Amino acid sequence: MKFDTPAGQNPVDRMRVVGQPLDRIDGPHKVTGTATYAYEWHDATARAAYGQVIGAGIGKGRIASIDTSAAERAPGVLAVVTAQNAGKLGKGRMNTATLLGGPEVQHYHQAIALVVAETFEQARAAAGLVRVAYTRSRGRFSLEREQANAVKPEGKDNDDTAVGDFDAAFAAAPVTLDARYTTPDQSHAMMEPMASLAEWDGDKVTIWTSNQMIAWGKGDVARTLGIAPEKVRLVSPYIGGGFGGKLFVRADAVLAALGAKAAKRPVKVALHRPLIANNATHRPATLQRIRIGATPEGRITAIGHESWSGDLEGGGPEVAVQQTRFLYAGEHRITRMRLATLDLPEGNAMRAPGETPGMMALEIAMDEMADKLGIDPVEFRIRNDTQVDPEHPERPFSQRQFVECLRQGAEKFGWDARKAHGSVRDGRWLVGMGMAAGFRNAPVMKSGARARLDGDGRITIETDMTDIGTGSYTIIAQTAAEVMGVDVDRVEVKLGDSQFPVSAGSGGQWGANSATAGVYAACMKLREVVATRAELDPATAEFADGKVSGGGKSVDLADVAGDGQIVVEDAIEFGDLDKRKQLSTFAAHFAEVGVDVHTGETRVRRMLSVCAAGRILNPKQARSQIIGAMTMGIGAALSEELAVDETIGFFVNHDLAGYEVPVHADVPRQEVVFLDETDADSSPMKAKGVGELGLCGVPAAIANAIHNATGVRVREYPITLEKLIEGLPDVA
The residues assigned a catalytic role are 692
DSSP string, 539-554: TT-EEETTEEEETTEE
| Gap between the Cα atoms of 359 and 695, Å rounded | 10
Cα–Cα distances in Å, from 715 out to 146, 372, 376, 665?
20, 16, 20, 26
* β-strand partners of 462: 450, 494
**Hey, is 238 helix, strand or coil?**
coil
* β-strand partners of 330: none
- My answer on whether omega of the bond before 718 falls inside 30° of 0, hence cis, is yes
What SS3 string covers 593-626?
A: EEEECCCCCEEEEEEEEEEECEECCCHHHHHHHH
φ, ψ at 435 (rounded to 5°)? -145, 165
| Gap between the Cα atoms of 92 and 105, Å rounded | 17
| Gap between the Cα atoms of 525 and 513, Å rounded | 18
* β-strand partners of 65: 133
Nearest of 451, 517, 462, 518 to residue 486 by alpha carbon: 451
Beta strands in 1-90 (DSSP E): 2-3, 49-55, 61-67, 77-82
Angle of helix 619-638 relative to helix 355-373, nearest 10 degrees, comes to 70
Amino acid in position 219: G
Amino acid in position 230: E
Question: CB–CB of 575/657 below 8 Å?
Answer: no
| Gap between the Cα atoms of 456 and 553, Å rounded | 20
Question: CB–CB of 585/439 below 8 Å?
Answer: yes
**Hey, is 398 helix, strand or coil?**
coil
**Would strands 669-674 and 602-612 be described as parallel, antiparallel, or unpaired?**
parallel
Backbone φ/ψ region at 109: left (φ over 0), alpha (ψ -120 to 50), beta: left
Write the CB contacts of 112 (distance below 8 Å, at least 6 apart in sequence): 54, 55, 56, 63, 66, 82, 83, 100, 101, 102, 105, 132
| Gap between the Cα atoms of 179 and 184, Å rounded | 17
**Hey, is 628 helix, strand or coil?**
helix
User: Which H or E run contains 300?
Assistant: strand 300-311
DSSP string, 486-497: --GGGEEEEESB
**Hey, is 700 helix, strand or coil?**
helix
**Would strands 49-55 and 111-117 be described as parallel, antiparallel, or unpaired?**
antiparallel
Question: CB–CB of 288/320 below 8 Å?
Answer: yes
| Gap between the Cα atoms of 106 and 297, Å rounded | 52
